[in-house]
């Protein structure tokens, strides 16, 4: 069995190297929108493709240096693998970083990363000098620590950025949008597991290396498919989660106003900004009388069951209530101790329970859509999280209690 795997491993990696090249080409030839808002997305596309091509190059270098003996360790493999792992790590961390923080790729970051890469590559290469053969293993470990530092630093950044992004999405959309970016978090961890397997496979036998190749192919296919699908929601999600894009919208709207209207709008925004700044110092984000004005407006909106509309944003609701999203968001948080999407979800859950009590024979999918949920799966997830029981179980429990009372 092992001898079969060893004999055929070169055929396997030759095939997988072509798969990586093809996946990179799929990304490059995928036509993403040309709008300026997609600039970070396009950068990420090229970076992901480059990372996959470097993985293919890594295989071809291995094929060129492989001596056919699995029992004999080749120090050059550890050296160039460390260098290429660093480059692949840069490509993927920069790609994922740019998708969660649109300012991630900066000149300063690129400069610092280039210096660190240069130092890591230099150490990995001088480790192969015969005069330093006695220190080769130590130098290669030091070079590997450079790769680990790159990954560790990005893990910390990505976690903070991903959590912040989810909070912004939850406080902007009425329904769940976190599922649209969940693939990023999954891909992020799958990639680091991939790197760890890659390092481990340097000194491993054929069995481990076969498994690693299958894993890498699966991860790269997952990333490619989800990245392409992400294009559909990218603009909407970016618009919701960055003040930069909100500013772009305001600027566009402002350009359509007359000079007098624009001047009046600027004065109102300036006065509003001064008011928010002044009240924030007293830890009151809006005037007390504004709370009294907003509360009945929301009550009317809730009574009309406008929350059952499938999708709307914080900004759209604020506009319909003749207020702004800052006041509305803070009001919801203070009044209900929830973010925007959580508050809307709670209203929809209450409505769902009313429908299930009134019409117990109604299908759950119909209940979900009637209450404004985009799918039965999302409805079940939110309901279970809120009530500690699935909607179908809740429905059965209610029917049982009703029958018992009769």
Q: How far is CA 19 from CA 13, 22, 87, 217, 317, in A?
A: 9, 5, 19, 7, 47
Q: How many domains does the chain have?
A: 2
Whether residues 229 and 303 fall in one domain: no
> What separation, in Å, do the N-terminal and C-terminal C-alpha atoms of the chain show?
69
Q: How far, in whole angstroms, is CA 270 from its chain's centroid?
A: 34
The Cβ of residue 143 has, within 10 Å, a number of other Cβ atoms equal to 24
Domain boundary among 199, 223, 245: 245
Output the domain CATH number for residue 115. Answer: 1.20.1070
Do 227 and 314 sit in the same domain of this protein? Answer: no
Asked if residue 385 has pLDDT above 80, the reply is: yes
Q: Tokens representing 247?
A: 């500013």
Q: Are residues 318 and 221 in the same domain?
A: no
Are 42 and 183 within one domain? yes
Evaluate whether 127 touches 136 at the Cβ level (below 8 Å): yes
Pair (235, 348) in one structural domain = no
Q: What pLDDT sits at residue 165?
A: 82
Q: How far apart are CA 380 and CA 388, in angstroms?
A: 11
Domain membership of residue 268 (yes or no) is no
- On whether both 37 and 88 belong to a single domain, the answer is yes
In a domain, 250, yes or no: no
Same domain, 61 and 160: yes
76 within a domain of the structure (yes/no): yes
Residues 188 and 97 in one domain: yes
Q: What's residue 185's pLDDT?
A: 92
**What's the predicted TM-score (pTM) here?**
0.71
Query: Residue 156: left if φ>0, alpha if ψ -120 to 50, beta else—which one?
Result: alpha
User: What gap in Å lies between CA 299 and CA 320, rounded to an integer?
Assistant: 13
Token pair, residue 171, equals 């406080």
Structure tokens at 236: 């909407």
In the predicted model, is pLDDT for residue 245 greater than 50? no
- Averaged pLDDT score across all residues of the chain: 82
Domain containing 351 equals 279-405
Q: Is the pLDDT of residue 282 over 70?
A: no
51 part of a folded domain: yes
Per residue in 185-194, pLDDT (tens digit) is 999 999 999 9
269 part of a folded domain: no
- Assign residue 307 the CATH number of its domain: 1.10.10.60
pLDDT in tens, 285-314: 445 567 778 888 888 888 888 888 877 888
Q: What is the largest CA-CA distance in the chain?
A: 92
Q: Is residue 84 part of a domain?
A: yes
Report the 3 state secondary structure along 292-313.
HHHHHHHHHHHHCCHHHCCCCE
């Amino acid at each position: 069995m092992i001898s079969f795997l060893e004999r055929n491993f070169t055929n396997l990696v030759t095939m997988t190297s072509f798969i990586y090249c093809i996946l990179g080409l799929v990304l490059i030839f995928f036509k993403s929108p040309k709008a300026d808002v997609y600039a970070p997305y396009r950068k990420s596309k090229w970076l992901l493709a480059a990372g996959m091509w470097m993985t293919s190059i890594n295989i071809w270098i291995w094929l060129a240096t492989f001596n056919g003996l699995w029992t004999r360790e080749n120090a050059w493999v550890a050296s160039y693998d460390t260098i290429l792992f660093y480059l692949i790590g840069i490509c993927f961390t920069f790609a994922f970083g740019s998708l969660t923080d649109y300012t991630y790729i900066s000149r300063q970051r690129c400069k610092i990363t280039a210096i660190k890469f240069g130092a890591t590559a230099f150490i990995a290469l001088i480790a192969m000098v015969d005069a330093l053969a006695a220190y080769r293993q130590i130098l290669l470990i030091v070079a590997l620590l450079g790769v680990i530092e790159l990954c560790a630093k990005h893990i910390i950044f990505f976690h903070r950025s991903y959590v912040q992004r989810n909070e912004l999405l939850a406080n902007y959309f009425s329904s769940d949008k976190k599922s649209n970016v969940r693939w990023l978090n999954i891909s992020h961890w799958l990639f680091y597991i991939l790197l760890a397997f890659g390092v481990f496979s340097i000194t491993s036998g054929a069995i481990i290396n076969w498994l690693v190749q299958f894993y890498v192919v699966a991860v790269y296919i997952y990333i490619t498919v989800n990245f392409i699908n992400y294009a559909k929601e990218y603009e909407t999600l970016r618009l919701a989660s960055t003040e930069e894009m909100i500013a772009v919208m305001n600027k566009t709207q402002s350009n359509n106003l007359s000079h007098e209207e624009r001047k009046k709008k600027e004065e109102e925004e300036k006065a509003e900004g001064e008011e928010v700044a002044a009240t924030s110092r007293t830890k009151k984000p809006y005037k007390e009388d504004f709370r009294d004005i907003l509360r009945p407006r929301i009550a009317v909106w809730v009574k009309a069951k406008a929350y059952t509309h499938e999708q709307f944003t914080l900004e759209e609701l604020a506009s319909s209530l003749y207020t702004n999203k800052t006041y509305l968001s803070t009001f919801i948080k203070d009044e209900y101790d929830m973010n925007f999407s959580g508050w809307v979800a709670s209203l929809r859950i209450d409505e769902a329970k009313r429908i299930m009590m009134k019409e117990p024979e109604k299908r759950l999918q119909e209940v979900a859509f009637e209450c404004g949920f985009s799918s039965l799966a999302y409805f079940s997830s939110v309901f279970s999280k809120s009530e500690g029981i699935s909607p179908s179980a809740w429905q059965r429990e209610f029917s049982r209690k009703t029958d018992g009372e009769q």
